[in-house]
Amino acid sequence: MAPKLKKTGKTPAKAASVAKKASPKKATKKKAAPPKPKKAFAVVGDRRAFAGYAEKNDDPLFEVGEAVEVIDVAEQDAGKIYTCVKFAEAEAYKADPDSYDAEELVEAELKRGNGKVIEPPIEIVDVGDIGKLVKKGGLTDQVKAIILDVEQYQSHSYFSMGGLLAHVYYDGVYKDEGFTDERKGWDEYCEANFGFKGRKAKYFIDIYMSFSKMENFNEGMLKQIGWSKAAEVARYANEDNVEQLIEEAEDKPVVDLKAHFKENYEVTGNSRPTPTSTKIKKIAFSFRLFEDQAEGAKMILEQASKKLGLELDDTFEHILTEWAGDNLGDSAVKKAKSAGRKKLKELSGKGVDTSGREKAKAA
């Protein structure tokens, strides 16, 4: 006997339709949306205020609140990494990346500063009549007058020009004159008023900011060298060696001077004091001869250099060693060589690349 069907008041077709509607729907898995790439907090060329190191740093490059410029953005496991340089050195860095320090920062070490970075206060030492000129006002016109003076009369130098430009830049005078664009304002101001780019003006500022801190410096010392050489001297000069470096700059082309300073000195001045490289350096000896003495000494060194087939510096060492053997005895020479070997070992232990010296000895 067929089972009784429960009356539903609906036709079988309609009942089937209701049953179909009433049956639960199968759960469908939603495809997970691909993660949105995290937008970079900053892009190359942005300026930000440094917020402080996320971890303890015993050798800090930046100070809290200091203006930095982003020169590279990279994706790493820890997130986006921003390579930055000091904003004041950004233009010079772009021209010569090997000469200025850069540092990788995480996002937490930067902050927006309401979209605008306020540069830290800069102490400007007013040398000579710079202070009076600043109080007088009209700095743009005064810079123009000094440029004309430097070109025609040379009663002032680009040192004084750098002093006025330092106030124009750090006191924001160029912004007061309508050049307010955060990225282009300084360049536009310099080109409109002086006919050169902001980067060149920064070199004049660096020259002034470096030399104005030295008590034994006077403006006349720079009259024997051009501004491009003075900018190089400013990077390496200190109270003890400023006169020597200016003298060395007089006889060398700028390209040779850059290489000479980079090989033999450490960066100072407006840059962070740090060794220029981890390679063994040459040490400059500081002594002077009268002009007649220098003429004779130079002739002897050049002749000896040619005969020995050595560079002048190696020739000098050879003559010293030979004199010591003849006049102080072999023991003095042995002690000197032993001291040299000890120094090389010490440098190698500190991770300094001494291969350049080893090659020179082998030659």
Residues in the chain: 363
CA distances from 305 to 27, 298, 299, 319 (A): 91, 10, 10, 10
Query: Rounded CA gap, 188 and 182, in Å?
Result: 11
Structure tokens at 168: 């124009």
* Cβ neighbours around 75 below 10 Å, total: 11
**Which one-letter DSSP state was computed for residue 215?**
T
Q: What percentage of the chain has pLDDT greater than the value 70?
A: 74
174-195: pLDDT as tens digits: 988 899 887 788 999 999 999 9
Report how far residue 282's alpha carbon sits from residue 343's, in angstroms, rounded to the nearest whole number.
Answer: 13
Task: Supply 170's token pair.
Answer: 């750090």
Tens-place pLDDT, residues 328-337: 888 888 888 8
81: helix, strand or coil: strand
pLDDT at 14: 47
Q: Mean pLDDT across the stretch 166-173?
A: 87
Mean pLDDT across 62-88: 84
At 223-270, the pLDDT tens digits run 788 888 988 888 888 888 888 888 888 888 888 888 888 877 766 544
Q: What is the pLDDT of residue 165?
A: 92
Question: What residues are paired with 80 via a beta bridge?
Answer: 75
Q: What is the mean pLDDT of residues 90-98?
A: 80
pTM across the whole model: 0.47
Q: For residue 17, what are its two tokens?
A: 């339709």
Other residues' Cβ atoms within 10 Å of the Cβ of residue 282: 12
The helix or strand, by DSSP H or E, that contains position 110, with its residue range, turns out to be strand 110-111
Q: How far apart are CA 49 and CA 86, in angstroms?
A: 10
Mean pLDDT throughout 211-226?
A: 83
Neighbours of 50 (CB within 10 A): 24
Average pLDDT over residues 90-116: 77
Residue 101 has pLDDT above 50, yes or no: yes
Query: Tokens representing 278?
Result: 């981890």
Give residue-wise pLDDT tens across range 307-358: 888 888 888 888 988 898 889 888 888 888 888 888 888 777 766 667 766 6
Question: How many angstroms separate the CA atoms of 363 and 360, rounded?
Answer: 5
Q: How far apart are CA 206 and CA 199, in angstroms?
A: 11
Distance CA 138, CA 86 (A): 29
Q: What angle do CA 304, 307, 311 make, to 5 degrees?
A: 65
3-state secondary structure of 186: helix
CA distance 287 to 266: 20
Q: Could you tell me which of 195, 199, 173 has the C-alpha nearest to residue 184? A: 199
**What proportion of the chain, given as a percentage, has pLDDT over 90?**
5
Identify the pLDDT of residue 274: 34
Contact at 8 Å (CB) between 278 and 351?
A: yes
| CA–CA gap between residue 200 and residue 162 (Å, rounded) | 10
Q: Which has the higher per-residue pLDDT, 125 or 114?
A: 125
What tens digit of pLDDT does each residue of 191-200 get? Answer: 999 999 998 9
- The predicted structure's pLDDT at residue 154: 62
pLDDT, tens digit, 9 for 90 and up, residues 2-27:
444 334 444 444 444 444 454 555 55
Cβ proximity of 213 and 188 under 8 Å:
no
- What contacts 289, CB < 8 A, 6 or more positions away? 297
pLDDT digits (tens, 9 = 90+) for 22-72: 455 555 555 655 555 566 778 888 888 888 888 888 888 888 877 888 898
| Digit-coded pLDDT (tens) for 262-305 | 877 766 544 333 333 345 666 666 677 888 888 888 889 889 88
Sheet holding 47-50, edge to edge: 103-106, 79-86, 67-76, 47-50, 110-111
